[in-house]
Each structure stands twice: as structure tokens, then as C-alpha cells.
Amino acid sequence: MSETRDVLILGGGHNGLVTSFYLAKAGFKPLVLEQRPQVGGAAITGEFHPGFRCSTLAHAAGPLRAEVVRDMQLEKYGLKMIRPDVGVAALAPDGPALLLYNDAQRAAQEVAKFSAKDAAKYSELKATLGKLGTVLQQALALTPPDIDKPASNDLWSLLKTGKALRNLGKKDMYRLLRWGPMAVADFVSEWFETDLLRAAVAARGVFGTSLGPWSAGSTLVLLLRSAGDPQPAGSTWLAQGGVGAITQAMAKAAQAAGAEIRTGAQVIEIRVKDGAATSVVLNTGEEIKARAIISNADPKRTLLKLVDPTNLDPSFLEKLRNYRSVGTVAKVNLALSGLPEFTSLSGTDTTAMSGRIHIGPGIDYIERAFDESKYGNFSKAPYLDITIPSLTDPSLAPDGKHVMSIYMQYAPYKLKGDTWDNQRVALADTVVKTLAQYAPKLPGLILTHKIITPQDLEDTYGLTGGHIFHGELSLDQFFTMRPLLGWGRYRTPVKNLFLCGSGTHPGDGLTGGSGVNAAREILKDLKK
């Protein structure tokens, strides 16, 4: 049995939903095929213990691109974003925590408790990142140019971005060019003398990557993330109902625009004839033909598993197989009988705990955690990025109880001499033991936990190599080179087959940027 559709989008993650919305608004009738029972990809909310709900994977927004929120009218469809006053609380094992408020003056006051010099420099860095962000936002919104045959609109966009770069002034222009390739450890050392502050800011340059603070190019990651949010250590953008509320609102907006969404629809093959994608086959045997097929899956899953490799040039295949998408992140969600008390905070300071909680008290601490992963071991003293979303959204847990969402880094996709099935419990024990150094009574509050290893990220959520960003964020996998040089414009070597996921430019986090950019380029081809 087969049917014919206008446009197919494989995967109902946030970028797929964004792309479907813009195509539907342009008059096409996209059908979104999502293999899981709910849309959202890595941006979903789930109940993991009776009465306890949590953002299963991603626990904070990117933040979302402003035009996505505006065009999709996400608030109309129930989305309520929460931005706690404290963006990041950096905990110390012995001594007070460093609270980085969103308000620049309050943040400087907190930093001044550690260093008056750092307080002044913190405000200066925020202002500098805000200024550079105006140029970076333009670059992230661009379609990477065709290197061999740049079109006139490519040249015009690059010219405008180049002009904006020159308008920064000589000092900031040189700063931007110099900082991109730097190790983020060197970058933060040029600004601050307090190691706890250095680590909290540097973490933004390594989160979700196979990079340590001393890795070259890690400052680029920080700069990319600062384009949408100039807070040096980043803000915290939560959604009422968990991040799944974001993708649920996106799905409603896409459907209202004319898109159709089908869940429980697993695509097992993209069929190609005479160099062009013609249809997809589901695990039920059903075949669906389409004018255009757009994959929200990562590049490797799309082109190495769903497409028969014989349809691709050997040189392209070799490069794609070397595209780095090996993750280093695990996730642990806890159901708690009460609110934990952190020794570096005054009692149960709910204001301080409402944003992201950072555990990684120094640059060397994070680098050592990274070192272990390079040799196939998960970190015994890991860097943790934590939220307690039930503080700002009590609907996520029963009265008086809480949920805790924990990103653990570093957990290599491939373990040396063992499997993640064998090490799953050991991973959770390590996370809890690390937390207990900062909140001694926390182990006694744990009712249950949900453990998601890098292997689970691949097997259950379809992220090749367990990489949460569909591929490493690095200098050689950025802009025109994301995913590969010559293929950074959302098209693939297979005619009528496109990419719209995080494995394309700009590709970082829950922003919707890749979906917006991809839709713009795909529409050009469809309208032809």
C-alpha cells in the first residue's frame, strides 16, 4: 500500500516541527512522521515515577529564536517560559556558592564577594558578548554560502555580516577573530582570577561536547551560545510543564498552519531512484511517496542508515563516516521526597536553586573529568548541570516533593572493556555521590531515578553516537562545514532529500535555528 504526499518530514523534534510550520505557511502540506508515541525528539516531558514529571533529556531552552516564538505564536498555544532571577548557582565544596543573577548589577555584587576586580570584568564581559552577539546572530541566521559558486544573495548576506563585523570597531573585531580558536580555559583566564567563576563561564563552552576547557576551539562554542544570550555563564530558560511544552506548542502551531503529524510511524528506508529520493518505507511495510523528503534525524542516521550507501559517492561516504558525533553526556532524573539542602547555600535558598546549578568548581576539575572520558571511562568526579524545575513549576511533582534533572559529563559513548548496561547503576551512584559532597542529605531524599546513558540516547532517542547536538560543535564542523564542506546548505547529494536537524548550521541546542534556516532554503527548491 502506498500514498503520495507533498512533503515528508522525518522526525518530530523541534527543528522538524519548525520546518513543517514554515512550509505549511507557504502553502505546502507537510506530513511529519515521528517514530515515538509523542513529538519532541530530545525536547520532551515524561512521567518517570507516579506523580513526578520532568524534562526527560534537554531541561532548558537555547533560548528559542525570537522569530520562531513570534511567527509560531507559541504563547497562543499554551507555552509559558520561566526565567529564574538566578541564571546559574556555581557551588563550591567548601565555601559559599557564587550566584550569577540575570541582573548585571546584582551579578556583579555577588562576584565582588569573591573578587572586586572580577566584578568589574564580569560586567565588561557581558557588555562585550552582547555587542559581539549582534554580529554572531546574523551569521547564525545565514545560509552558509556555496563555496564553489556563491550566488548573489550569498555574497550580499556575507557583505552585510562583514560590514557588521567592521562596525564592531577594531578592538572587538580582533577580539572575535582571536577568541574563536582559543581554548575556553585561556579565554576565561584573561578575564577572571576566581577559579569558581572561570569554571562556571568555561562550562558554557564545553557543555554537550567532546571538548575540555583546554581544547582548542571551545571558546567558539561559548561565543555561539552567547549570540542569543550575553550572560557570560548563560541564563536559564525553563518551560512550564517541562521542555515538552515547547514542542507541544510547536506541534499545535504547525498543525494550525496546515501540517499533519503522525506518531508511532517509524521510517526504516528512504528509497532513491535515478539519484533522487522518491519515497520512504515504514516498519509496517507502508510506502509513502513525496516531492521532497526532509530529515530531522542526524546526518549519519539519515545518509548511512536510511539511505542505501550505494547511492552516494565513495568520497562523500568516507567524509561522512568521519563526521564526529560521539557523545559524552548522560542524564539522570531524580524523584525527591523533599527539597535538598546545599551546604554552600544558606539553608533551602529556593531563589538560588531555581536556575541551573553548576557543579564543577574549577577549570582543572572539569579538565580531569574530560581526561577520564578520553580513555573510555566515565568521570568519577563529573561536571554536573542541574535544575530543580519543580521549584518554579509545582505541577511537576506532588506537594512538598521535587524533581531534579541532572546532565552528567563526561560519559563516553564507548566504554573501555565494558557496556553501559553493566555500568548504568555505577553511573547513577557516581552522580549521587558527587551531589552528596554538596548536599549531604540528598541520598536519603531519593525515591527513584531514571538513568539515560549515551547508548540509550542512540537506541531510544535516535541520536547517533549519543550526541545531543547531532554532531560535534567544533571549528571543522561549523557553518559551511556543518555537516561537511560543500554540504552546509541543508541539501544532500541525493536530489529532493534535505536535512533540517541540529547536524546543520547553526545546530546548537533548543533554538529552532536550523529549522528556520532549512525551511527558507527548501522553499526555494520547492517553488521551482
Do 194 and 335 belong together in one domain? yes
In 227-348, which ranges are continuous DSSP H helix? 244-257, 299-300, 314-321
Q: How many domains are contained in the chain? A: 2
Q: Where are the alpha helices (DSSP H) in 94-191?
A: 104-112, 116-141, 152-167, 170-179, 184-191
pLDDT tops 70 at residue 1: no
Query: Are 340 and 417 found together in one domain?
Result: yes
* Surface-to-core class of residue 527, CB atoms within 10 Å of its CB (0-12 exposed, 13-18 middle, 19+ buried): exposed
Neighbours of 120 (CB within 10 A): 13
pLDDT score of 416 more than 60: yes
Please tell me whether residues 416 and 344 are part of one structural domain: yes
The predicted pLDDT at position 391 comes to 97
> Average pLDDT, stretch 126-147?
90
- Residue 426 scores a pLDDT above 90: yes
- Are 108 and 187 in the same domain? yes
- Residues 29-51 pLDDT 10s: 999 999 999 999 999 999 999 99
Residues 220, 251, single domain; the answer is: no
Give burial (CB, 10 Å; 0-12/13-18/19+) of 305.
middle
Greatest extent of the chain over all pairs of C-alpha atoms, in Å: 71
> Does the pLDDT of residue 227 top 60, yes or no?
yes
In a domain, 150, yes or no: no
CA distances from 399 to 54, 77, 193, 348, 393 (A): 15, 27, 42, 16, 11
Burial of residue 322 (CB within 10 Å: 0-12, 13-18, 19+) is exposed
- Dig out the grid coordinates for 166 from the structure: 567592521
Same domain, yes or no: 229 and 296: no
Domain assignment present for 358: yes
pLDDT band per the 50, 70, 90 thresholds, residue 88: very high
pLDDT of residue 528: 81
Beta-carbon contacts of 350 under 8 Å, excluding residues fewer than 6 positions away, are 339, 391
Note the pLDDT of residue 3. 84
Over residues 130-137, the mean pLDDT reads 91
Q: Are 358 and 487 contained in the same domain?
A: no
Residue 23 lies in a domain: yes
Please write the tens of the pLDDT for every residue from 120-129.
Answer: 999 999 999 9
161 or 433: which leads in pLDDT: 433
Instruction: Give the chain's mean pLDDT.
Output: 95
- What is the predicted pLDDT for the residue at 157? 67
Q: At what angle do helices 363-374 and 195-202 cross, to 10 degrees?
A: 50
Residue 192 DSSP class: -
Q: Name the DSSP letter for residue 307.
A: S
Cα–Cα distance for residue pair 117/102, rounded to 1 Å:
19
Least confident range from 163-172, 260-269, 444-453: namely: 163-172
Among candidate residues 452, 474, 502, the one where a domain is terminated: 452
Q: Given a cut of 80, is residue 66 above it in pLDDT?
A: yes
**Rounded Cα–Cα distance for residues 292 and 270 (Å):** 11
Strand partners, 31: 8, 260
**Mean pLDDT within 490-501:** 98
Q: d(Cα 9, Cα 458) in Å, to the nearest integer?
A: 20
- Grid cell locating 106: 546584582
Residue, of 318 and 165, whose pLDDT is higher: 318
* 452, 480, 513 - which closes a domain: 452
- pLDDT for 194: 98
pLDDT 10s digits, 302-326: 999 999 999 999 999 999 999 999 9
* CA 336 vs CA 90, 131, 420: distances in Å: 21, 42, 25
- Its domain, for residue 267, covers 2-80+243-324+464-527
Per-position DSSP letters for 310-336, written without gaps between them: GGS-HHHHHHHHTS-----EEEEEEEE
Residue 291 lies in a domain: yes
CA separation for the pair 126, 421 (Å, rounded): 43
- pLDDT at residue number 155: 63
Q: Residue 364 pLDDT > 90, yes or no?
A: yes
Indicate whether 441 and 338 sit together in one domain: yes
Question: Strand, coil or helix: what is 246?
Answer: helix
Any domain includes 130: no
pLDDT at 172: 87
- 335 and 212 in a single domain? The answer is yes
Is 142 contained in some domain?
no
Same domain as 381, residue 271: no
**Least confidently predicted of 153-162, 368-377, 408-417, 459-468:** 153-162
Name which of 110, 92, 112 is nearest 101 in CA terms.
Answer: 110
| Per-residue model confidence (pLDDT) at position 347 | 64
| Domain end marker among 420, 452, 484 | 452
Residue 479 lies in a domain: yes
Q: What is residue 160's predicted lDDT score, i.e. its pLDDT?
A: 67
Residue 254 lies in a domain: yes
Q: What is the pLDDT of residue 32?
A: 98
pLDDT, tens only, 436-468: 999 999 999 999 999 999 999 999 999 999 999
| CATH code, 262 | 3.50.50.60
pLDDT of residue 163: 74
472 touches 324 (CB < 8 A)? yes
Region of residue 479 (phi > 0: left; psi between -120 and 50: alpha; otherwise: beta): left
Secondary structure class of 103 (helix, strand, coil): coil
Q: Based on the fold, state whether residues 338 and 405 are members of the same structural domain.
A: yes
| Residues 392, 433 share a domain | yes
pLDDT of residue 479: 92
Percent of the chain with pLDDT over 70: 98
Locate the DSSP E strands across 173-275.
238-239, 260-263, 267-273
The string of DSSP letters for 400-443 reads T-EEEEEEEE---SS-TTS-HHHHHHHHHHHHHHHHHTT-TTGG
Entry pTM: 0.96
CATH of the domain at 394: 3.90.660
